[in-house]
Amino acid sequence: VKPRTMARVGELAGAKWTKSTCGLCSIGCGVEVASIDGELRGIRGRSDHPVNLGRLGPKGLGQWQANAHPSRGTTPRLRGPEGGWSECSWDAAMTRVAREIDDAISMHGPGAVAFYNSGQLLLEEYYTLSKIARAGLGTPNIDSNTRLCTATVAESLVASFGADGPPGSFADFEAADCIVLFGHNAAEQSTVLWMRIMAAKSGPRPPKIIAIDPRRTATAAAADLHLAVRPGTNIALINGILRQLIHKRWFDRAFIQANTVGFEELARTVEPYSPAKVEELTGVPASKLETAAEWIGTSPAVVSTCLQGVYQSHQATATACAVNTMHLLMGKIGKPGCAPFQFAGQPSSMNTRETGADGAYPGYRNWANPTHMKDLAKRWNVPVELLGKKPVTAPEIFEQCFEGQIRVLVVLGTNPAASFPDRDRTLAALRNVFLVVMDPFMDTETAALADVYLPTAMWGEKTGCMTNAERRCNLVEKVIEPPGEAKSDLEILVDLSRRLNLVDKSGAPLIQYSSPAEAFEDWKACSAGTIPDYSGMSYKMLAERGGVQWPCNKEHPDGTERLYVDPTFPTAPELVEGALKDFQTGHAHTPHEYKAIAPDGGRARLLTVAFEEPLDTVDASFPFVAISGRQVYHWHTRTKTAKVPELAEAAPRGFVAIFARDATKLGIEDGDMVRIVARRGQVIAPAKVGENVPEGVVFIPFHYGDLALDASADAIAPDLADPVSKQPVQKYSAVRIERVDGRDRWWREP
Ligand code: SF4
């Protein structure tokens, strides 16, 4: 993608350069954005930004071109009785939205309204949405598309440490002696972080890299050790590593005794996972497992990461917790080069969790803790009865839409019609409600179903914050005006709160601010004293420093590089963010039950469980396993990246990667069209025959939701979810491969 983008950068004489932050992924690279006469013209990395030091990946380099795409919405639209859309004024659109919400609540109660949001908006927007939904309308139906991507992150951090919040810093990757990537194709997903890892690799203290992935990805190819784990067997592998650490005495007894609970049970649980047994279960040779455990156990500093290979699998939360356990066992946390990174994926998915726009409450408050809820009610000056409602997850929201309990659904900055599993039921659910879609683009599969479409400003057209995967809050600056009449999500939400006449206990408007800076101040006050404490930050400070890591307050005026340095963990009943849940059933301990099992003295939990076979079983009718993943050129359903010519050209359409020997047996050649049939759906796409998927496995990139081609990896996902995080299983589907007539006429070797 470089030549054309760089040529455009060369045409930038006289451009105005504005400092900002990349809006594509959770790395949060600092950028400078070029504009001429109110149009975006180019981008470059900020050499003074601590995250990227001038580097950018292909998505970051190309993103500015999506802003001017002709599919941008410029005026609100209403669907008429005949089914067609017509343009309308903002007043007409917002009057209709407010009336539908009012009617739904007066007839069916607050639970008749739901919000499904994103990891792409700004902190100030999530916070305002959370306040409107929880304190204004009193609906518990608010969740984010992070349910599909990193809901497991929060659950695992709460289970292991007591609260959400990644403990480490990106600087730990440079300080580590060993980096372990569990189901994280960092070279394609976290491009600039991968560049930092590669730079460390060629430095004076090169870390050993271990990649755990069924595929030989670019990451696995560059790693020192690739453990090609059989899909669906992550936890067996990690249990094997934990057993080796215990058997070889590569653990820190003093740390375990002072700071953790559960060692005996852990040792019992992992004992059956000998290297030979792990080889039998996972396909990873015993010698490789032993080497991995030795590197992890004997390296003074170890960083690990998890991503979708862990989170979108069955036993997801348990697996992520087992990785946390690995660090606790060795006392390798809260020190330079030592951290488990349960990775955020989207650029602002951290903010959805911090502000309570997903299934959490703002400031990592515990919805079941009356003291936390009283505190929040006091700060918002609203009746406490509005709060403390059990959070509802996105799958439950869509189910309630399908069943008719939810009457109005507002979708902000995300595209569930293309990305949510079980597409037929999701489409039926979206058609069964009054659907309001707030999105910069009119051409998404979800916008096409909207009763009201509200055009929104996107990255580069509004100001606010995004917090990256190392807790660094970055400022995203407005560079140009949005097209036509499009407005920021914040402006729309503030307008909605006024039209709904949402007030606090004194009768004053619930949302008393209108600008992003004022919203940030309101959030600072809400977060003060909580774990994600932003109270010491200001926009000026963020702009000058290239982001600040929370907590930032009087005690930590410059922010905080690492959590759990002391280490005290917030697992006490009065501090914990959520109840410990059963890994098999998802059952949450009641507050009373939790008191009985809460660790004393701020200790963390050493957690794992026994391996269970995936439920979507391989048999004679479905003899292969389909897995899904990413390509470096695209982000999620390509709403933005498909609109960047270089990225679209580099990876134009979906495919199915098939192992060469499997393809030969089935008489399939490169470029032949194939049908991948699962128990619940099918995918038709051209075959890409090669060696980077293992025998018996097919790989489908998950970006392509094109209904005409029927190439959506989600179409074949089983109807299964992790019991704790409710994150759908999208990494394991039993399938068969059928050759269909014809070849892909566009096919060329990608
Ligand atoms: S790594 Fe992420 S934040 Fe950095 S340039 Fe690439 S997409 Fe943007």
* pLDDT, average across residues 416-425: 83
**pLDDT given for residue 744 in this prediction:** 59
Percent share of the chain, pLDDT over 90: 77
Q: Which residues contact 582 (CB under 8 A, 6 or more apart)?
A: 588, 723, 724
Residue 2 pLDDT: 38
> Averaged over 379-406, what is the pLDDT?
96
Residue type, 38: G
Binning pLDDT at 50, 70 and 90, where does residue 511 land? very high
* pLDDT for the residue numbered 746: 52
Bridge partner residues of 43 (DSSP):
33
Is the pLDDT at 4 greater than 60? The verdict is no
* Residues linked to residue 144 through DSSP beta bridges, in sequence order: 117
27 lines ligand 1 (CB under 6 A): yes
Question: Residue 727's pLDDT band (boundaries 50, 70, 90)?
Answer: confident
Query: Is 258 a residue whose pLDDT tops 90?
Result: yes
Give the DSSP per-residue string, 22-85.
-SSSTT--EEEEEEETTEEEEEEE-TT-TTTTT---HHHHHGGGGTT-TTB--S-EEE-TTS-E
With bands split at pLDDT 50, 70 and 90, how would you rate the model's confidence at 717?
Answer: confident
Share of the chain above pLDDT 70, in %: 96
Cβ of 466 less than 6 Å from ligand 1: no
- Cα torsion at 433, 438, 442, 447 (round to 10°)? -20
d(CA 132, CA 497): 7
Contact 577, 570 (CB under 8 A): yes
Structure tokens at 111: 């639970």
**93-146: per-residue pLDDT in tens?**
999 999 999 999 999 999 999 999 998 899 999 999 999 999 999 999 999 988
Give the residue with greater pLDDT, 51 vs 733.
Answer: 51
Omega before 718 within 30 of 0, i.e. cis: no
> Average pLDDT, stretch 441-451?
93
| 151: phi then psi, degrees, rounded to nearest 5 | -60, -30
pLDDT above 80: residue 636: no
Question: Tokens for 669?
Answer: 């050649």
Query: Which pLDDT belongs to residue 718?
Result: 78
**27, 189, 197, 635: which to mutate for ligand 1, most atoms within 8 A of CB?**
27
Mean pLDDT of 316-335: 97
Average pLDDT of the residues in 377-384: 98
Q: Give mean pLDDT, residues 381-400.
A: 95
Per DSSP bridges, beta strands 434-439 and 452-455 are parallel
Determine the atom of ligand 1 nearest the C-alpha atom of 58.
Answer: 6
- Confidence at residue 12, expressed as pLDDT on a 0 to 100 scale: 81
Among 439-453, 577-591, 602-616, the minimum mean pLDDT is found in 577-591
Q: What's the whole-model pTM score?
A: 0.93
In this structure, are residues 163 and 577 in contact, taking their beta carbons and an 8 Å threshold?
yes
Tell me which of 24, 65, 173 to substitute to probe ligand 1's pocket, judged by most ligand atoms within 8 Å of the beta carbon. 24
Query: Nearest-5° angle of CA 300, CA 307, CA 2?
Result: 100
* Spacing, Cα 617 to ligand 1 middle (Å): 37
Which band of pLDDT confidence, cut at 50, 70 and 90, is reported for residue 604? very high
In whole angstroms, what is the distance from residue 556 CA to residue 577 CA? 22
Tens-digit pLDDT profile for residues 7-22: 455 568 889 999 999 9
Q: Is 186 in the pocket of ligand 1 (CB under 6 A)?
A: no
Please work out whether the CB of residue 28 comes within 6 Å of at least one atom of ligand 1.
Answer: yes
- What's the confidence (pLDDT) of residue 15? 92
Q: Residue 634: CB partners within 8 Å, gap ≥ 6?
A: 59, 641, 642, 647, 651, 701, 703
Alpha-carbon distance of 38 to 145, in angstroms, equals 32
Which residues does 179 contact at the CB level (< 8 Å), separation at least 6? Answer: 173, 197, 207, 208, 209, 210, 302, 303, 304, 305
**Per-residue model confidence (pLDDT) at position 130:** 97
346: helix, coil or strand? coil
Checking if the pLDDT of 499 tops 70, the result is yes
Q: Is the CB of 321 under 6 A from ligand 1?
A: no
d(CA 51, CA 57): 13
Residue 87 β-bridge partners:
77
With a cut of 90, say whether residue 473 has pLDDT above it.
yes
Residue 712's pLDDT is what?
62
φ and ψ of 87, to 5 deg: -65, 150
**Among residues 58, 215, 24, 304, which one has the least CA distance to residue 701?**
215
Identify the bridge partners of residue 466 per DSSP, sorted by sequence position.
Answer: 474
Q: Ligand 1 within 6 A of 22 CB?
A: yes
Position 5 confidence tier, pLDDT thresholds 50, 70, 90: very low
What is the per-residue pLDDT for 350? 94
- Residue 713's pLDDT band (boundaries 50, 70, 90)? low
Residue 639: pLDDT band with limits 50, 70, 90: confident
pLDDT band at 652 (very low <50, low <70, confident <90, very high): confident
Q: Are 389 and 359 in contact (CB under 8 A)?
A: no
Using the atom order of ligand 1, give the atom closest to the CA of residue 61: 5
Predicted pLDDT of residue 7 = 43
Mean pLDDT for 494-522 is 98
Q: What span, in angstroms and rounded, lies between the C-alpha atoms of 123 and 520? A: 8
Q: Cα separation of 555 and 500, whole Å?
A: 39
Mean pLDDT, the chain, integer: 92
> If pLDDT is split at 50, 70 and 90, which confidence band does 150 have?
confident
Whether the predicted pLDDT of 562 surpasses 70: yes
CA distance 493 to 743: 48
Please tell me the distance between residue 90's alpha carbon and the centre of ligand 1 in angstroms.
34
Residue-wise pLDDT tens digits, 47-77: 999 999 999 999 999 999 999 999 999 999 9
CA distance 176 to 347: 24
Among 189-198, 535-544, 738-747, the least confident range: 738-747
pLDDT at 651: 83
pLDDT at 584 over 50: yes
Q: Is 192 in the pocket of ligand 1 (CB under 6 A)?
A: yes
**Residue 462 and residue 481: Cα distance in Å, rounded?**
8
Q: Ligand 1 mean position to 542 CA, how many Å? A: 18
Residue pLDDT, tens place only, 664-691: 999 999 989 999 999 888 888 899 998 8
d(CA 716, CA 728): 12
According to the per-residue pLDDT averaged within each range, which of 308-322, 639-653, 696-710, 731-745 is highest?
A: 308-322
Residue 618 CB partners (closer than 8 Å, separation 6+)? 624, 625, 734
Does 31 contact ligand 1 (Cβ within 6 A)?
A: no
pLDDT number for residue 183: 94
Alpha carbons 558 and 553: distance in angstroms, whole number? 8
**What average pLDDT score do residues 342-360 get?**
91
Burial 94-119 (b: 16+ CB within 10 A, else e): bebbbebbbebbeeeebbbbbbbbbb
Q: Which atom of ligand 1 is nearest to the CA of 347?
A: 3
Read off the pLDDT of each residue in 509-517 and give the average, rounded to a whole number: 97
**Residue 100 is encoded by which pair of tokens?**
């539908």
**Confidence (pLDDT) at 129:** 98
CA angle 475, 479, 484 (to 5 degrees): 125
DSSP E strands in 418-557: the ranges are 434-439, 452-455, 464-467, 472-476, 548-549
* Protein residue with least CA distance to atom 2, ligand 1: 25
Distance 631 CA to ligand 1 centre (A): 14
